[in-house]
Structure 1
Amino acid sequence: MTTQTILPVDAQRLSELSQSSGEPGWLKDSRLQALELAAELELPKLEKTRIDRWNVNNYGGYKASKPLAQLSEAPASITALIKDQEEGSLIIQQNSGVIYTRLAPELAAQGVIFTDLQTAVKEHGELVQRYLHKAVLPNEHSIAALHAALWNGGVFLYVPKNVVIETPLQAVLLTDDAEAAFVPHILVVADTNSSVTYVDNYVSDKAEAGLHNGAVEVFVGAGAKVRYATVHQLGVDTTDVTYRRAVVENDGTIEWIVGEMNYGDTASDTKSVLKGNGSSSDAKVIAVGSGSQKLNYTTQAQHFGKNTPSDMITRAVMRDAASSIINGITKIEKGATRADGQQTEKVLMLSPKARGDANPILLIDEDDVTAGHAASVGQVNYEQVYYLMSRGISRHDAETLIIYGFLAPVVSQIPLEGLRNQLQSLVERKLGQ
């Protein structure tokens, strides 16, 4: 079966855009090859989800935004997210391009690179070329191919060998123009024995339909530690499709913290490839669905190295007529002896029309391993509600306490206080508290 992919741009126009942006020849060729692939590939096949019925073709065109002279000029819709960041390391993307970049001087002095990806390909081309599109491959499906062809703005973070960064580096990515393409690419490279925390927020402020086609690639060197926290709070008008991949070398660690707080249809796939011996992955996902949202969340750990632990926890709350598919996939390859893969997916439904489906999957090709899973889908336990009401608590407050208790195992483990508070606020907003 073949699927006709609607290309949002032709090869000549894409080539002209690349040249006018001053991109190196290797990147222009990469874009054109990906565009050619996109015309041949089908949409990704998602479990029990008809993504072909979603708004996955409304890319818009490339529209550069005016750079900020100072942080106080930032759009009002993201002011709360960037307060107290005058001295910190921060990148802001608005629609098709980055409008603000700041790297703390002490980090620059240690050789840290933190800039938009379009600048990085010009100033650090050899380094970027070594990693770009090596974890999220353009030939996976048409959405990945179109991303590789059309990506704009984005973030490039490189942490040199033995550099330990204590303060999180942050990015805010805003889409507020329905006619502007919003296809950011995040590329994080942590060299041997380095350590870094990166946090980003995706925000929309518009009333017309649009698409976010995003990709994240994280490369964790031997003995390195990367904590990657991301919160998506895009509006009902924006369809969000995001693929995240981490490749982890010997004794490296990747920690994912994902807050899925969108109001529109959302598909995300977060995968850790435990390539090296002793490498590890920990993924925490919290999601709240409302309205008539269609949601599909997949978390994966693929074990190649020996002695590789992975843990995945997803908690999702569905209200109104929202529906969700929650997939957890642990794949232990032949030779990955003493791997330990654990996963838990739980969905709480708050209304008769809400739907949830939790699918734990273990794929094991090695004998000397440990693996386990737990999954549940259910409604609020009204025996608990009545018990709390018998103690003088109102029904509304009793249900709220139960919901927060359901989410607490994920929220309480988030080590960043600011992110915990932000997620708590977003949960309250989505639940109409």
Structure 2
Amino acid sequence: MTTETVLPANRDSIQAASKANGEPEWLINLRVKALELAGQLELPKLEKTRIDRWQIDAYGANKAAQPVAEATGLPEIAKDLLPENEAGHLIVQHNSGAAYTQISDDLKSQGVIFTDMATAAREHGDLLQQYLHTVVKPEEHRLTALHAAVFQGGIFIHVPKNVRVELPLQALFISDDAEASFSPHVLIVAEQGSEVTYVDNVVSAGLRSELVHNAVVEIVAKPGATVRFASVHRLGKEVTDLSTRRAIVEQDARVEWILGEMNDGNCMSDTTSILKGNGSSSDHKVICVGTGDQKLNITTRAVHFGRQSSSDMITRAVMRDEATAIVNGITKIEKGATDANGEQTERVLMLSPKARGDANPMLLIDEDEVKAGHAASVGQVNKDQLYYMMSRGISKDQATRLIIYGFLAPVVSEIPLESLEKKLSEWVERKLGQ
């Protein structure tokens, strides 16, 4: 007996949205093919999480954004997240498409492409076609196929050889209409010897019904390139966040991930670095805070192919109320990756008796001449630490707060923008009710 898969989109709606955005024929065909794949593929199998029980079908429909000339015309939720530096580089996506762009002439003079995905498809089609869906392939599972079929908006970055981008490139993704699709795609290509920092905020407000955020990030770091990627998600309880991020890291290149999963709804976060080249390296730093009855599945992964490649992964989760977190760290060292070094740490802090956490470190090693290690812990606030601080005149609430911030500090302090670091600390405080 076979079960027919009912998809949240159809061929006609996808073609209509693509044509409305002026997309080239090759992209329309790619979307249609991905939709066909989605009907054949299974959902991803997550460790100890039944994603099929989540609301994963409410994708909404493509709705064109209304561009604004000045940042003052953006929704209120955007205004306190805008860069303090007026010379900065910023793209704001409102629901399904770009609404505001601020890019300095200096960036353009360096030959850097920093644009929304719809513009990239129209103006940089050959370059986009070369890299789009090559790192996260549609045929992996139903969610990646659906994303390739229905994604709207996103960011395309291309940094030429040996160009160093001084200021962070920033993006703000805002959802305030549950009937509008919200599945952006971010593609970053850093050519040989280049360097770039990208920072985004993903937020929602005022949604009156359920919505799926099925997003993909692809990074291609060519030999000797450095890419820093920082992202904070603050989506409401109505939103199911499904985020797949992956980087291909070539010889002597480096990719750094700094992620803050601050959602109120269910969340799947899967972040992978493929260390393809000799001397390649990656660094993952992730924090997540769960409240209410949230279910979080957070995976970080490093796959070593290159000799003398190195990876480091740190994940910190704080769970309150009846929230559940499954935290997976996977280090895979392939045969031939001699002298590779992979380290990982997963820690879960539970603040209530009904909260649940599970840390799952995994080392999969097919080569003898390597170094690899892991550390994992799940527990409550350390009573000895609490007692010590209270004995110094600090109240129990304040002592607990300081312990939590110390627990999260290795990630929060790595945010490459001071203003965003402060905001993240505020959001942690607000979510934990401290």
Give the alignment's TM-score, normalised by structure 1.
0.98
- CA deviation map 1:370-398 (0-9, x unaligned): 00000000011222222222222111111
Q: Name the CA distance, whole Å, in 1 between partners of 2:200 and 2:411.
A: 18
Q: Bigger shift: 407-416 or 392-401?
A: 407-416
Q: Gaps (5+ residues) in structure 1?
A: none
Report whether the alignment pairs 1:281 with 2:282. Answer: yes
Q: Look up the match of 1:430.
A: 431
| Structure 2 SS opposite 1:81 | coil
| Structure 1 SS opposite 2:377 | strand
1:259 Cα deviation (Å)?
0.4
Give the alignment's TM-score, normalised by structure 2.
0.97
1:330 Cα deviation (Å)?
0.4
Q: Look up the match of 2:375.
A: 374
1:103 Cα deviation (Å)?
1.8
- CA deviation map 1:137-175 (0-9, x unaligned): 101111110000001111001111110011101000001
1:248 Cα deviation (Å)?
0.7
Report whether the alignment pairs 1:300 with 2:301. Answer: yes
Aligned residues: 433
Q: Which amino acid aligns with 1:131?
A: Y
- CA deviation map 1:159-196 (0-9, x unaligned): 11110011101000001001111110000010110000
Q: Look up the match of 1:28.
A: 28
Q: Percent identity?
A: 61
1:4 Cα deviation (Å)?
4.2
Report whether the alignment pairs 1:134 with 2:130. Answer: no
**Alpha carbons of 1:377 and 1:97: their partners in 2 closer, same or farther (altered >3 Å)?**
same
| Structure 2 SS opposite 1:163 | coil
Q: Look up the match of 1:333.
A: 334
| Structure 1 SS opposite 2:80 | helix
- CA deviation map 1:242-279 (0-9, x unaligned): 00000011100000000010010000100000111111
Q: Look up the match of 1:262.
A: 263
Q: Gaps (5+ residues) in structure 2?
A: none
- CA deviation map 1:193-246 (0-9, x unaligned): 000000000000123211100000000011010000000000111110000000
Q: Look up the match of 1:247.
A: 248
Verify the 8 A CA contact 2:230 2:415 in the aligned structure 1: no
| Structure 2 SS opposite 1:57 | coil
Q: Which amino acid aligns with 1:31?
A: R
Cα RMSD for the two superposed structures? 1.3
Q: Which amino acid aligns with 2:316?
A: R
1:16 Cα deviation (Å)?
2.6
1:86 Cα deviation (Å)?
3.5
1:418 Cα deviation (Å)?
2.6
Q: Name the CA distance, whole Å, in 2 between partners of 1:342 and 1:199.
A: 25
Q: Name the CA distance, whole Å, in 2 between partners of 1:17 and 1:382.
A: 56
Q: Name the CA distance, whole Å, in 1 between partners of 2:170 and 2:219.
A: 15
- CA deviation map 1:386-425 (0-9, x unaligned): 2222222111111111111211233234444233222211
1:8 Cα deviation (Å)?
1.9
1:6 Cα deviation (Å)?
2.4
Verify the 8 A CA contact 2:230 2:416 in the aligned structure 1: no
Q: Bigger shift: 347-356 or 201-210?
A: 201-210
Q: Look up the match of 2:123.
A: 123
Q: Look up the match of 1:155.
A: 155
Q: Look up the match of 1:42.
A: 42
Q: Which amino acid aligns with 1:295?
A: L
Q: Name the CA distance, whole Å, in 2 between partners of 1:414 and 1:79.
A: 20
- CA deviation map 1:346-369 (0-9, x unaligned): 000000000000000001111111
Q: Which amino acid aligns with 2:129?
A: Q
Q: Name the CA distance, whole Å, in 1 between partners of 2:381 and 2:84.
A: 39
Paired residues for 1:63-74 under 5 Å: 63-74=63-74
Verify the 8 A CA contact 1:3 1:43 in the aligned structure 2: no
Q: Which amino acid aligns with 2:304?
A: H
Q: Bigger shift: 17-26 or 274-283?
A: 17-26
Q: Name the CA distance, whole Å, in 1 between partners of 2:231 and 2:176.
A: 19
Q: Name the CA distance, whole Å, in 2 between partners of 1:312 and 1:346.
A: 11
Q: Name the CA distance, whole Å, in 2 between partners of 1:101 and 1:85.
A: 14
Q: Name the CA distance, whole Å, in 1 between partners of 2:241 and 2:288.
A: 14
Q: Look up the match of 2:58.
A: 58
1:117 Cα deviation (Å)?
0.8
Q: Look up the match of 2:217.
A: 216
Q: Look up the match of 1:412.
A: 413
